[in-house]
Amino acid sequence: MTGPSPCFMPRRSRIVASLLLWSVLATPAVAQVPAPDSGTSSHLNIHIPFVHHRARATRTRSAQPDTALLWVEAGYDGNFRSLDLARDESSTLTVVVTPMSRLELQADVDVWASETAPHEAAIHGRGDMHLTIQWTAFTMHPGHVAVAFAWDVKLPTASRATLGTAWVDHRLLTPVSFAVGGLQFDAYAGMDADGNPTGLTWGVEAAASATANLFTRVFAHIGVSGQTIDTDQPAGRYVSGGISWQVHPLIALDIGGRLGVSPGTPAYGLTAGITAAVLTR
């Protein structure tokens, strides 16, 4: 079971958009898109893309210079009606530090995890931990295009064997972000390496999403994703969507969902979270 990053965006023109209220499990990673120095808003526009809350390399800024040094997210993620499990849920605590405008360090841990197989009692406990480092390598047309590289490591910290894999897993991702006509597009492609008793199992994954500013401080997100091997999310293809609301310059809420569209994936999933900027520059 499972894990994107608040993105920081300038205000866009109002856009009438349809929401696809489904969510991704293979959370797209979002590259930083630093904006020109002039005309920058003095407060944080925290924009949270639809994400799986094991965010893993997704919490980055976009479209304006960094003003947050540290923020914390508390999130929920649930998968329902997969081949093996009726319910697969977790609550994750994420801490993100940005010591430099192009560098992001992230740690997230499933402080609570639960799995329920059909006709069996639920298993509860602590889940695995993820450590992520992401570097925005370069930008083109500042404020519009950015490319980053991210490395995510999953550590087997689950308190129950069935709530984790007991092996160290790796993900190498290349996030790309760009803005066109009031929309933000985020995409990534990467490789997965799952630990096992004989070495590593290799696979690939990719995702793409679009974000629009519906109203003042309200954003809508739609996207697609897929992966060839099981990681936190079962292998397969997904469509997703959600909304986020910046309720305060330093606090944002998000809710979303996803739909598995290939054999073997969970029928649907739900996400929700709150993100707060704790320290600002």
The whole-number pLDDT of residue 191 equals 95
- Does the pLDDT at position 40 exceed 50? no
Among 67, 219, 62, 210, CA closest to 143: 62
**Mean pLDDT of all residues in 72-91:** 89
How many Å from the N-terminal Cα to the C-terminal Cα in the chain?
A: 35
Instruction: State the pLDDT at residue 67.
Output: 60
Residue 228 pLDDT:
94
Res. 166: pLDDT tops 50 = yes
Query: Is 142's pLDDT higher than 80?
Result: no
pLDDT at 269 over 80: yes
The pLDDT of residue 98 is 86
Please give the pLDDT value at position 57.
31
DSSP state, residue 97: E
User: What is the DSSP annotation of 127-140?
Assistant: --EEEEEEEEEEEE
Mean pLDDT of 61-87: 75
- The pLDDT of 125-151, averaged and rounded, is 83
Instruction: Identify which of 193, 260, 267, 256 has the alpha carbon closest to the alpha carbon of residue 230.
Output: 193
Q: According to the model, what pLDDT value does residue 42 have? A: 34
Contact between residue 128 and residue 158 where contact means Cβ atoms under 8 Å apart: yes
What's the pLDDT band for 24 if we cut at 50, 70, 90? very low
pLDDT at 141: 65
* Mean pLDDT rounded to a whole number for the chain: 76
* Average pLDDT value for residue range 73-101: 89
- The answer as to CATH 2.40.160.40 being correct for domain 7-280 is yes
150 alpha-carbon distance from chain centroid: 13
pLDDT at 246: 87
Tens-place pLDDT, residues 89-136? 999 999 988 888 788 888 989 999 988 888 888 889 998 999 989 888
Would you state the pLDDT for residue 181? 81
C-alpha–C-alpha distance, residues 272 and 26, integer Å: 15
User: Which tokens hold the place of 206?
Assistant: 């990719």
Residues 167-209: tens digit of each pLDDT? 999 999 888 888 888 888 888 899 999 998 899 999 999 998 8
pLDDT, average across residues 265-269: 92
Query: Encoding tokens for residue 195?
Result: 């630990």
The whole-angstrom distance between residue 102's C-alpha and the CA centroid of its chain comes to: 18
Residue-wise DSSP of 64-91: S---EEEEEEEEEEEEES-SS-SEEEEE
10 Å CB burial of residue 13 (0-12, 13-18, 19+) is exposed
Q: Where would I find the beta strands (DSSP E) of 11-164?
A: 46-47, 68-80, 87-100, 103-116, 123-125, 129-140, 145-155
> What region does 148 belong to: left with phi over 0, alpha with psi -120 to 50, or beta?
beta
Give pLDDT, residue 10.
Answer: 41
pLDDT in tens, 209-262: 888 989 888 989 898 999 999 887 888 999 999 898 888 888 888 899 999 999
Q: What's the average model confidence in pLDDT over 70-84? A: 89
- Taking Cα atoms as reference points, which of 84, 35, 58, 76 lies closest to residue 175? 58
Residue 62 has pLDDT above 70, yes or no: no
Q: Are 192 and 26 in contact (CB under 8 A)?
A: no
